[in-house]
Amino acid sequence: MKQLLKKFGGLIILAILMLPFASADTITAQSNNGSVSIISASVPVTPEPNANAKALQRIKFLQNIKDQMSATRSDYRQITDNVNEATGRIAEINVKVSTLKDQIRNLDDQIATTKSMIANVTIQITEKQNEMVILYDEIDIKKAAIEEQKTC
């Protein structure tokens, strides 16, 4: 059944029905005032030349489209799988990066603690050195006093 919409004169042809029986087509039309009339006309039925060839071309064309769609689906699936795999790898790398950041933060904390301890030890060493200088000075003074007492 073929449907064809056309405006022709005062009539709008609604549908042309190709009937498989007899050699007539039935045309249903509606005029501008809304009345419906059916027109029958004799049209000789002639087989379309190369109908089989055209049908084969259509089948080949549709098969080609199906093959292309299948290939496209396959490509899409492969791309989706690659994206999912890459997403998984990125997630693993993000976990490793997070772990490394934590380790670096811990090392920075340890370095800061160690620097503080080194500064404290350096201060203590300087204080002890100053105390030793004072003690050596006291020893020297006492030696001098003892020497002075021996000579007197």
Domain spans, the chain: 6-46, 51-145
Report pLDDT for 15.
38
What is the residue type of 129? Q
Which residue's structure tokens are 């994206």?
Answer: 83
Per-residue pLDDT tens digits for 12-40: 444 343 434 444 444 444 445 555 555 55
How many Cβ atoms sit within 10 Å of the Cβ of residue 126? 10
Q: Which residues contact 19 (CB under 8 A, 6 or more apart)?
A: 25, 26
**Both tokens assigned to 43:** 């049209």
Least confident of 87-91, 98-102, 124-128, 148-152: 148-152
Tell me 36's DSSP state: E
CB 12 within 8 A of CB 5: yes
Q: What per-residue string of b and e applies to 38-70 under the rule 16 or more CB within 10 Å gives b?
A: eeeeeeeeeeeeeeeeeeeeeeeeeeeeeeeee
Per-residue pLDDT tens digits for 39-92: 555 555 555 668 888 889 999 999 999 999 999 999 999 999 999 999 999 999
Q: Is the pLDDT of residue 114 over 90?
A: yes
Task: Pick the more confident residue, 135 or 22.
Answer: 135
